[in-house]
Structure 1
């Protein structure tokens, strides 16, 4: 990954081909000692796991996509869940016919690139378990 620091709390990231998005972002956060932040990005992927929250199950339905997809929009945040980094990322992806899908990302392999604008927060943002949704939500 290529990292360009724009100012104290803003970074431009270029994630390289074949890198896994979550791994790259977590490594970046550890390297720069960032606990919380917000980011958005564009790029493309060759494989991903994307899903939607199923309110009846109180869990996600996951769909694996093993083809080239454009990342039309990627947006997410970095918070702390049980004192560990946690990424919450949503994406809108388009296929070769320009058909779009959107959902919650669980994993994504970048190809050929992914460009992220990251805004680090000075304060920590934490998540706590919510019994109604069975999710860890921002506190």
Structure 2
């Protein structure tokens, strides 16, 4: 992984074998970023996305391996209730299915994505404040605490 800060943005290259979400956190730690957004594209070899099942309050995982084009990655990083960095990201991947002669898609809440060739991200830190998390009893999940 390598990165370069230019203006108010951080441009991040994630290399083969590295896990995207881990590397985003590493950059945030190194640059003392507690709140920000990120987006990116790339090529991954192993991904896990998930669908949230509200009735069970759990995620249903979907794992895929192979040549997966990361068509879109969007996410944010905030400060958790214990002061830790917390990410929330969604991604969409495509893969050519030779047997079917078509492109299949896989998307959802990103849990893990290991780079096969490269990934290119833009990280935009929030200037002058931070966003935290608070538990929302109505939904049963942590949501942004804009008073943090």
Same fold (TM over 0.5): yes
What is the TM-score normalised by the length of structure 2? 0.89
* Matched length: 138
Q: Answer whether contact 1:52 1:60 (CA < 8 A) is retained.
A: yes
Give 1:126 shift: 0.5
What is the TM-score normalised by the length of structure 1? 0.94
Give 1:102 shift: 1.4
Which region of structure 1 is more displaced relative to structure 2, 54-63 or 71-80?
A: 54-63
- Per the alignment, residue 52 of structure 2 pairs with 53
- Looking at structure 1, the residues matched to 126 and 116 of structure 2 have their Cα atoms a distance apart, in angstroms, of 28
Larger Rg: 2
Q: Structure 2: give runs of 5+ residues left out of the alignment.
A: 97-101
Q: Answer whether contact 1:58 1:133 (CA < 8 A) is retained.
A: no
Deviations 1:54-73 (A, max 9, x none): 11112211111122210000
- Per the alignment, residue 70 of structure 1 pairs with 69
Which region of structure 1 is more displaced relative to structure 2, 33-42 or 95-104?
A: 95-104
- Per the alignment, residue 116 of structure 1 pairs with 121
SS of 2:26's equivalent in the other structure is: helix
Say whether residues 1:138 and 2:127 are aligned partners: no
- Looking at structure 1, the residues matched to 141 and 47 of structure 2 have their Cα atoms a distance apart, in angstroms, of 22
- Looking at structure 1, the residues matched to 112 and 140 of structure 2 have their Cα atoms a distance apart, in angstroms, of 21
After superposing on structure 2, the runs of 4+ consecutive aligned residues of structure 1 that deviate more than 6 Å are: none
CA RMSD of aligned residues (A): 1.1
Matches within 5 A, 1:1-139: 1-7=1-7, 9-82=8-81, 83-96=83-96, 97-122=102-127, 123-139=129-145
